[in-house]
Structure 1
Amino acid sequence: MKRSRGLFFVITGAMFWGIGGTVSQKLFQEYDVDINWLVSARLLIAGILLLAVQFMKKDRSQLLGVWKQKHTAAALLIFGLFGMLAVQYTYMASIQLGNAAVATLLQYLAPVMIILYLIVRKQSVLSGNDLITVLLALTGCFLLLTNGSLTELSVPVSAIVWGILSGVALAFYTLYAVPLLKQFDSLVIVGWAMVIGGAALSAVQFPSPMDLVHLPAEALMYLLFVIVFGTMLAFWFYIESLQSLSPKEASLFGTVEPLAAVLSTVLWLSEPFGAFQWAGAGCIVLMMVLLAVQKEPALSFKKDLA
């Protein structure tokens, strides 16, 4: 029963993540929701909710304890701005300019970027598994973005650029968070990072409730899903799954996310997705599965941070 509970949480959380991106695409394309508004509202509300969960269920002292030392406070600010905010904004920009399926799959190039970074820094050596991982990522990326054509791209260049930047941001986010997560609970770090990122972007466009007046009820429901289900519950469910599943198992079942993003984009939004793009998506998902099942992976890529 405990394992079944863990499987429910990780699969449901991953599905919420993937579908949340597709729902965001609908908000951008059909209701002209401003990206600054959506990202800031999403981060602020979800961050506050996660900190509330920490306050009710876990060690409350950590909520303020992370701010008591200058080096951890500075690290948290950097993580919130250049990690959390960068990941969320670039991902949403890629969705707005392209679609959720491609944006999600491009973001999942982050593990390959980390592998290459560690090799360049001579903190790791290129293994056979790493080589297979890189080749799968490159093949998948080519097929996904070109649909097998050598003369044209399947999505706008701007969406590709933002998607690749999202992968870079997620790679930084994953590596930079490690020392903080060794000292403090993940709910504390991610919750505060969301609040920091959301507050910073709110300086550009504050998410005033008055901005909701012109949205129909259907759009408000989509917005609620993105914030609560696609952000707060998705993260919380993943964390809860780790109570009964190993990180390796959770990472493996977390591959449901890109599949959910692709299927919901194709079936619900009727986005075209060619045969070669399906093959490319399969290569990237296979890459993630290989990373998850490695006995000694070259990196610790945890989606529970995102």
Structure 2
Amino acid sequence: MHISGRVKGMIMVVIGASLWGLSGTAAQILFQQEQLSTEWLVTIRLLLSGLILLLFAFFSSNRHEIYVIWQNKKTAFQLILFGLLGMLGVQYTYFASIAEGNAAVATILQYLAPLFITVYLLIKFKSPPSKLDIFVLFFATFGTFLLLTNGSLHNFMVSTPAIIWGVLSGLSLAFYTLYSKDLLTLWSSSVLVGWGMIIGGMGMIILQALTTRRFILFSDTPQLHLTTLLLIGFVVLFGTLIAFYLFLDSIRYISPKETTLLGCTEPLAAIISSVIILHTPFLLWQMVGAAIIILVVLVLSLFPQVQEQDV
């Protein structure tokens, strides 16, 4: 049976986004059942994924970029900043939110990134908010309230640290998205993301050495049972590399807008897998809040307005 390019692209996005969502649930198992530290898993994920991505780039037509990207001082500084604040920032805050709470809430909070981008661009361009902007801000706030409280002012469904890390994850993803825009016009995504991951992983090692005087890869290494190894392999291979490839390659077949729309399967996969596999409580008004946030992101992708201006 022949599958059209557009259908192929849509399938790739759905699978890639679902793998990202499932990797969050796998990480939650590693943190809360296998007792892995957030810092150790983030370091391993970034270093292994980064090395493999650069290895792919080495055997592609972009191999020269692996070295050339470091020859310009300004570009090198931007790359280091991207790796530390963008890549490491996104990965660590997201996994920390999962460790303190659960994958479902962490993924939805990170999904607020387009909202933060909208607010930033409104401030940057000194644009008065449109009716759509006000609509988006109100419902995103309302949806977040329902997600975190299940509609009760007297009860939070996850801990305060989980909420803080989740919001920081959304802010980090917003920075990652905005800051990488110009870099991606100059360098291939495999080289940029590969180096960003390695820089982020090395940054995590250095930060841990300075703050705890421990070498994280040795001091925090867990007992690696078969289940632990399989889950780590899933997070690195399926939840990072394959998901990244599917998302990246799908752009050849469908538009970025369609990619964003279908990307909503990531939080859905995280919610469904957390509830089914881990029996994470996800109550009615939390579901309503999650649906509102996803709807807001879809509205932003359909009617970008201020986001279409030159960042």
Instruction: Report the TM-score, using the length of structure 2 for normalisation.
Output: 0.92
Counterpart residue identity of residue 188, structure 2: D
**Whole-Å Cα distance in 2 between the matches of residues 210 and 39 of structure 1?**
12
How many residue pairs get aligned? The number is 298
Alignment pair present for 1:287 and 2:287 = no
* Aligned with 1:97 (options 95, 100, 109): 100
Instruction: State the superposition RMSD in angstroms.
Output: 1.6
Residue 303 (structure 1) aligns with: none
**Whole-Å Cα distance in 2 between the matches of residues 242 and 57 of structure 1?**
18
User: Which shows bigger deviation, 129-138 or 268-277?
Assistant: 129-138
Alignment pair present for 1:81 and 2:52 = no
Residue 284 (structure 2) aligns with: 275
User: Which shows bigger deviation, 116-125 or 188-197?
Assistant: 116-125
Alignment pair present for 1:298 and 2:309 = no
**Whole-Å Cα distance in 2 between the matches of residues 97 and 37 of structure 1?**
15
| Partners of 1:111 and 1:299 within 8 A in 2 | no
**Whole-Å Cα distance in 2 between the matches of residues 86 and 253 of structure 1?**
25
* Aligned with 1:70 (options 64, 69, 73): 73
Counterpart residue identity of residue 59, structure 1: N
Instruction: Report the TM-score, using the length of structure 1 for normalisation.
Output: 0.93
Residue 43 (structure 2) aligns with: 40
* Aligned with 2:269 (options 235, 260, 273): 260
Which residues of 2 match residues 122-271 of structure 1 at below 5 A?
122-203=125-206, 204=208, 205-208=215-218, 211=221, 214-271=223-280
Counterpart residue identity of residue 261, structure 1: A
| Partners of 1:137 and 1:283 within 8 A in 2 | yes
Runs of 5+ consecutive residues of structure 2 not aligned to the other structure: 209-214
**Deviation (angstroms), 1:90:** 0.6
| Partners of 2:9 and 2:253 within 8 A in 1 | yes
**Whole-Å Cα distance in 1 between the matches of residues 161 and 146 of structure 2?**
18
**Deviation (angstroms), 1:127:** 2.0
**Deviation (angstroms), 1:51:** 1.5
User: Which shows bigger deviation, 36-45 or 126-135?
Assistant: 126-135
Residue 304 (structure 1) aligns with: none
**Whole-Å Cα distance in 2 between the matches of residues 198 and 210 of structure 1?**
15
Quick one: structure 1 residues 179 and 123, their matched pair in 2 at CA, closer, same or farther if it must change by over 3 Å?
farther
Counterpart residue identity of residue 292, structure 2: C
CA deviations 1:74-94 (Å, max 9, x no partner) are 000001001110111011000
**Whole-Å Cα distance in 2 between the matches of residues 298 and 188 of structure 1?**
30
**Deviation (angstroms), 1:66:** 1.1
Runs of 5+ consecutive residues of structure 1 not aligned to the other structure: 301-306
How many percent identity over aligned positions?
44
**Deviation (angstroms), 1:172:** 1.3
**Whole-Å Cα distance in 2 between the matches of residues 280 and 156 of structure 1?**
17
